Amino acid sequence: MGRPRMLNAGGIDPIAEEPHPPRAADPAALACAISAEASAVLAVMRRSLRHPRAAADDAAADHPLVSSLKALRRLAFAPAAAASPSLPAAALRPFLDAVRSEEANAAVTSASLAALHEVMALTGRSLPGSALREVVDAVASCRFEAGAEAAAEEAVLMRMLQALLACLRAPAAPALGDQHVCTAVNTCFRVVHQAAAKGELLQRFSRHAMHELVRLVFARLPLIGGADAEDATVKPEMSGMDKNHPFGIGQMENGNGSYASEAGIPDENSADESGLSVEPYGIPCMVEIFHFLCSLLNVAEQIGFDEDLPLFALKLINSAIELGGSAIAKHPKLLSLVQDELFRNLMQFGLSISPLILSMVCSIVLNLYHHLRSELKMQLEAFFCCIILRLSQPRFGATYHQQEVAMEALVDFCRLKNFMVEMYANLDCDITCRNVFEELANLLSKSAFPINCPLSSMHILALEGLIAVIQGMADRIGNATSRPELRPVELDEYAPFWTVKCENFSDPQHWVKFVRQRKYVKRRLMIGADHFNRDPKKGLEFLQGNHLLPEKLDPQSVACFFRFTAGLDKNLVGDFLGNHDEFCVQVLHEFAQTFDFEEMNLDTALRLFLETFRLPGESQKIQRVLEAFSDRYYEQAPQAFANKDTALLLSYSIIMLNTDQHNMQVKKKMTEEDFIKNNRNINGGNDLPREMLSELYHAICRNEIKTTPEQGMGYSEMSPSRWIDLMRKSKSTPPYIVSDSQPVLDHDMFAIMSGPTIAAIAVVFDHSEHEEVLLTCVDGFLGIAKISAFHHLEDVLDDLVVSLCKFTTLLNTSLVEEPVTAFGDDLKARLATETLFTIANRYGDYIRTGWRNVLDCILRLHKLGLLPARVASDAADDSEASMETVQGKPAPSSISTSHIPVMGTPRKSSGLMGRFSQLLSLDSEEPRSQPTEQQLAAHQRTLQTIQKCRIDSIFTESKFLQPDSLLQLARALIWAAGRPQKVASSPDDEDTAVFCLELLIAITLNNRDRIVLLWQGVYEHIANIVQSTVMPCALVEKAIFGLLRICQRLLPYKENLADELLRSLQLVLKLDARVADAYCENITQEVARLVKANAGHIKSQMGWRTVVLLLSITARHPDASGVGFEAIMFIMSEGHLSKSNYPFCIEASRQFAESRVGLTERSIRALDLMADSVSNLARWSQDTQGPGICLQSSTWSHAFDLVIFALLDDLLEIGQNHSQKDYRNMEGSLVLAMKLVAKVYLQLLPDLFGLSSFCKLWLGVLSRMEKYIKIKVRGKRSDKLQELIPELLRSILVAMKSRGILAKRSTIGGDSLWELTWLHVNNISMGFQSEVFPSQEYEQPNNVSSPRGVNNVEAQN
């Protein structure tokens, strides 16, 4: 039933120290106060004190109690006493006498105790320790007349408690000494016990008083020194904490029915009164009190289950631990009580069906972990394995309330930042301990899964535990000075794994490497155990191959493998140990040597031994096993038996008794006498002590020895034998490692728990609809992402991204009629989306394959028109917003692809505001319903969510991504775009491909310093688009101009890649004719911009060839030729003409000159460009070989054939066969052609003469002069040619004569050159021979050789 809170309106705790009344300012005031208290007690005494002549006042005045009070009144006002320091103690004695008196009734005793409390309050600061000790003694021996009413008796008990509390609160309380403190606590507990039959107020007050006393005592523990403080001898009176009574207190009723403690009234000549000093109370009394509190748990277990007493004891213990704190570890006796007796009882009460007791047990262990974990390594392992892990799972029979309390306790532990890492370092990385961290993490993950049931508080609780563990790891990242470098652990050679020690457990540089190696060994041992369970021989071979067993097996190593490896099949181990093979027998004896049976009972030792394997069924195997056990036991306990045969025989007898008592098929059970009789004369011919045999008999009857132990690693209860083994093990276990808040082991831990944790949080996120739970899950997702990124666990981060993408609902919005509205109404989807893109922005460096899932969500947002307009922008767009023009026309794709007109189907307006405006707009032709307020609010929430996502930052900030992540992002974009198809794709697919290409180009431009990383994939993707497109479309348009844009922007920064970038422009030449024609003008404009901006960065011949070729092909395009020619002019006239590009520019100029597109003026300008370029040739020749253009003679011969003669022949053909109206200036052209051939011939005559083909070349000149002089222009021969050709011919002949080239060299046989020359010259003009050679000189000058090839020409003629 409910109990009222003992707090008044002001919130005052009745147990808290009552405020002292103002102390008297002078001795007179103190005297008045003391006199008033004495008068109050006297008044009660006069009415209640028993006396034979009580009717007369004078008779009552003769009573000693009355006399002492009257004397006190006189003393208080005495001038000498007022200044005496002994006044406070003297003022207490009359009241103490009244408390002790058996003649005083309850009213007198109550009034005396009240007066005592008031006087102590007035004089508390000056009360000496001796006075406090007197008060404790008086209260402990308080007596009063029997037969008092219940209310009066309760008042006396409450006054007693107030007095005891005042003593412990007094400034001089430490001077009480250990004995009196124990007496005070004992007295208080006696009142607690007596209050059980009293009113509820007294019950509450007494328990609170006991609680306060314990707190006051143990609050001094941190102030006491180390272990040397325990050397004080505990007085015999300390045994006054009597525990014979079931409730831990001795009660005695005197003849009058009054109450007193069994300690009785102490002798008046106490130690301090006899002059001996009393040490302040300290460790001895604390040890005694703590032991007493622990014993209450033992007593409660003996008398049956009653949660009231153990719960009260547990609360007191918890208070003592809270106040004592880490100081307990400084005192071995207190620490020993905690390690053994307390924890053993906690293990028993931890399985209580009472949630209150279980909760208090967990609270105590939580405090013990916080303060003393370095001393409780094995105890903590036992607590988690036998209590938490057992009660948190219903399969072990725990009730729901037990599961809930155990899970709450586990979550509290997880909230301690370093709890899990310390469990991992100390237990999971210890080959002799359980994998507590791993099992707790799995428990939390499994408990968070709502399997075939709705989400419950238990699931949320487990989720909080998981999040706490994740948050602890994330916080440690914040404390990290740098990322720990963890190298893979390997064993290069064999070393006995059970003997490896760490050099320094206080230095992380030592113990981190050590525990990681131990964890590796432990994991390999468990794998080896799995192999052993399937095939023992292969299991041992596996361990040998992993350097965990020596190449040549020895008995000790195999025995230690059996002893320290968890998960072994105990049947196989038992068969191996019981085998008669010599090696197996040696292993058996080495196995027995691993046990410590010192100071252990035989049955306990046998239990421990048989728990590690299954005892074989064959008698011979049993004998070998028990022989090995007996040898080891007798070796460590030789005083127990006469010889080892005694141990063997008694062990056999115990096994037989165990079978007899616990086998259901045995009907007639062995009695104690039978057992004793069976074991006569086995101790070297003598009998064993009857008490020992009787104890063994009853121990076996009460608790069966499990000869078939549990398989695997279950969560069994803590038995007494296991506890003994645990305490032995705790003495030899490595020191407890205290974490220093650095993430040195988090990588390994997170790798273990990440998968189940992500799945568990995702399931809860999926099943929950509460915002608080969803936000908790989001915190978990962000923490996982932070840890994964810090420890470079890319696979984990990818898995997290995949899970989040499922919750965004963006991948399946086709199933929703209004996806934008539905998204705005779905809090879970919006949180998931915001979390996804937060992770992508913060930790994108470590996303790999997850980029594909992120892009799926981005593409869906793009299709819904929810993306910001600048998602595909690059960093330079802002600075280059203004566009340059070429020939007065804007360059559509000069900088941003957004300027390019799209040839395909126009897309709907996109962007956040565009989408919102679509909602608000109403079609005038087809009226639509006005959107509701709910729809508007949903859209507004959607827009706000997308803005928070900062999706554009993923691409604009891609320059900060690590190379691997950037490459994966680019590949994801290419994958999302899909492979281009030659057949027309759907509008949605094309839109997706275009958008992905925009993003790909954006990150390429943003990462110009790392273009080598991306270029191959980008180029191949664009090439696939170009080569597979046969009709103009938006995709190929983006591809072409994106490629041009990349080249334009990167050429100034990547000269080493200039050739590669320019070579990529050859893709434009591979465009389908229809595509090329559609975009020719824009392509030319872009190429022109590229040339003007980057002409100085184009160095190679290949680069110029590509660029000029792209420009030259526009010569016949009506729209593009103008821009193309302007670019050629820019190259040739603005100082960019070079040896690398000269041939290509000349060819381009020729094409523009021959082009019929455009005005004639352009052709003339093209010819002028070609003519002006000769100066460059001359300059280059001068720089290399001297003045003039120096070419090989043979080259000039080809120049005549291919250029000059071809030009003359073409003009001749045009003049003869075409209408003169089409070529109005044909006569001028023919005149210029003749001047050209004459001028070139004369200038090159010295070089040409030496050629073998000189005669042929010379005759070619003559034959064309002959033809030109005969040509008719407008129906008649040209007067200009008739006049010009003879003059030119005369000049040539004179020059040839002067150089000795033309002369008649022989009269015999004739001269071919001479004869052929005059043959053609005479056809032109008859008088040249006599004019040039008037004397007809036939002789050849000596310095001129005969021209080569003359005979050949003659032969041809």
* Residues linked to residue 1272 through DSSP beta bridges, in sequence order: 1277
Query: How many other CB atoms are there within 10 angstroms of residue 10's CB atom?
Result: 5
H helices within 1173-1253, ranges in order? 1174-1184, 1193-1199, 1205-1217, 1226-1249
Question: Any idea what DSSP says for residue 1272?
Answer: E
Q: With CA atoms as reference, report the closest residue to 626 among 596, 647, 611, 597.
A: 647
Pairing of strands 889-890, 885-886: antiparallel
Identify the residue whose tokens are 């008086």: 138
User: Angle at CA 731, nearest 5°, toward 726 and 732?
Assistant: 100
The answer to whether 448 touches 763, Cβ cutoff 8 Å, is yes
Identify the residue whose tokens are 């009260």: 312
| Dihedral (CA of 100, 103, 106, 107) sign | negative
User: Angle at CA 1184, nearest 5°, toward 1180 and 1189?
Assistant: 55
Helix, strand, coil in percent for the chain, rounding step 5: 65, 0, 30
Q: With CA atoms as reference, report the closest residue to 306 among 296, 315, 316.
A: 296
**Distance, CA of 1046 to CA of 1038 (rounded, Å):** 12
Q: With CA atoms as reference, report the closest residue to 1124 among 1164, 1151, 1102.
A: 1151
Please identify which of the residues 598, 599, 618, 880 carries the catalytic annotation. Answer: 618
3-state secondary structure of 885: strand
The answer to whether 709 touches 611, Cβ cutoff 8 Å, is yes
Q: Which residues contact 667 (CB under 8 A, 6 or more apart)?
A: none
3-state secondary structure of 259: strand
- Known catalytic residue at 145: no
Question: What are the structure tokens assigned to 100, written together?
Answer: 């002790």
**Distance, CA of 607 to CA of 625 (rounded, Å):** 13
**Distance, CA of 616 to CA of 573 (rounded, Å):** 10
Instruction: List phi, psi (to 5°) of 1277.
Output: -70, 150
**Distance, CA of 609 to CA of 629 (rounded, Å):** 8
The answer to whether 1024 touches 1008, Cβ cutoff 8 Å, is no
* Residues linked to residue 683 through DSSP beta bridges, in sequence order: 686
The answer to whether 847 touches 892, Cβ cutoff 8 Å, is no
Query: How many other CB atoms are there within 10 angstroms of residue 124's CB atom?
Result: 20
Burial class (CB in 10 A: 0-12, 13-18, 19+), 1290: middle
**Distance, CA of 1065 to CA of 1103 (rounded, Å):** 9
C-alpha distance from residue 240 to each of 184, 248, 341, 864 (Å): 11, 10, 20, 84
Amino acid at 718: M
The answer to whether 843 touches 797, Cβ cutoff 8 Å, is yes
The answer to whether 1078 touches 1088, Cβ cutoff 8 Å, is no
Question: What are the structure tokens assigned to 1180, written together?
Answer: 């280059």
The answer to whether 729 touches 378, Cβ cutoff 8 Å, is yes
**Distance, CA of 1054 to CA of 1057 (rounded, Å):** 5
DSSP 141-197: T----SS--HHHHHHHHHHHHHHHHHHHHSTTGGGGHHHHHHHHHHHHHHHHHHGGG
User: Angle at CA 693, nearest 5°, toward 692 and 695?
Assistant: 65
Catalytic residues: 618
